[in-house]
Amino acid sequence: MKIMYMGPASDTPVFVLRHKATGVLMPDFKGRAGGTFIDPFKPEPGSVPRLFTREKSAGDALRWWAAGKAQPRYGSSFSEFPGDSQTEFLGVKSEPVPGRSAADWEVVPVVFYEARD
């Protein structure tokens, strides 16, 4: 089975992130670090493009990636009772990465089809 690109989409598309100047597709990520840690111009061996089922999801991922490497922040809340502290989620902090800009990328709809030999 061969998977081919066919566009513009006539059936239900999936969406990819494409670099406007080079045509590079944003790769999917492996492991726990998340998509904001990947360098699309130095993909892992064997990586494949990241696919999204909704255009909004692709745009959200692009905005998070452009903002920098995102990491959750946690803190402890303490109680007046000994041993009754709890870990609280404080939010997400993004560490900016020079050169990242959402304006350099576009969300592109694609449709895959099976090509029979």
Phi, psi of 107 (to 5 degrees): -90, 125
Supply the pLDDT for residue 10. 54
Handedness of CA 63, 66, 67, 70 (dihedral sign): positive
Q: How many independent structural domains does the chain possess?
A: 1
Using a 10 angstrom Cβ sphere, with 0-12 exposed, 13-18 middle and 19 or more buried, the burial of residue 21 is exposed
Supply the range of the domain harboring residue 17. Answer: 2-115
Give pLDDT < 50 ranges for the chain: 1-3, 7, 9
